Amino acid sequence: MSTWKDSIDIFLSKDQLEARIQEMGKELARDYEGKDLLVVGLLNGVFIFMADLVRAMDMRLEVAFMQVASYGGNTISTGEVNILHDLERPIGGRHVLIVEDIVDTGLTLHKVRNMLLDRQPASLKIATLLDKPCRRNVQVPVDYVGFTLDDHFAVGFGLDLDGKFRNLPFLGVYNPS
């Protein structure tokens, strides 16, 4: 019997993801100890990773979200980055950590990073669950990386293909055959 998950090969299991996110959370809590931290998640893809990451950070912090769209419904970037929802409060003088699901061409983070830098935070760093360095078009400094990926299209754990598969509890590689 065929199911909706048949075209997905498991790439990182729920347990592997959980273990790595716990490590990242500990590292971040150490690095930001005693600082006024605002964790900014980029929706939609980040919603699952962000929920796990901030719960792995044993420290006082605040969360906020921005919604950005860069894909036109397929696996190739349109190269255009639209801000659909901006932060509601100023970030001047605050320590800001941007959290992304995956860094691909780097265009999204390049734009968001420059936008937030203009608002003069005390510091601005980037954490991502996945990094595909082989696909980079613009250089962006990524400070915390969960896993490095080759040139595959990842789905699950928040990441989508045309809006689907975000609810898979693991990370998979889309493999239609």
Quote the least distance from Cβ 122 to ligand IMP, whole Å: 25
Rg (CA), the chain: 16
Binding span for Mg ion by CB under 5 A among 17-25, 44-52, 77-85, 114-122: 44-52
Residue 121 near Mg ion by CB under 5 A: no
Closest-approach residue to Mg ion (CB): 45
Would you tell me which residues interact with ligand IMP (CB under 6 A)?
45, 70-71, 77, 100-108, 153-155, 159
Closer residue to ligand IMP, CB minimum distance, 30 or 76: 76
Binding span for Mg ion by CB under 5 A among 5-13, 31-39, 43-51, 109-117: 43-51
**Which DSSP string corresponds to 125-156?**
EEEEEEE-GGG-SS-----EEEEE--S--EEB
Binding at 70: pick from ligand IMP, Mg ion, none (beta carbon under 5-8 Å per type): ligand IMP
- Record the tokens describing residue 74, joined without a space: 């397929």
C-beta separation of 101 from 128 below 8 A: yes
Say if residue 100 is exposed, middle or buried (CB neighbours under 10 Å; 0-12, 13-18, 19+).
buried
Backbone angles phi, psi at 67, to 5 degrees: -115, 125
Annotated catalytic, 104? Answer: yes
Closer residue to ligand IMP, CB minimum distance, 119 or 135: 135
- Cα dihedral 102, 99, 144, 51 sign: negative
Binding span for Mg ion by CB under 5 A among 8-16, 21-29, 45-53, 111-119: 45-53
Quote the least distance from Cβ 111 to ligand IMP, whole Å: 8
Backbone angles phi, psi at 8, to 5 degrees: -115, 125
Closer residue to ligand IMP, CB minimum distance, 83 or 120: 83
Contacts with Mg ion by CB under 5 A lie at: 45
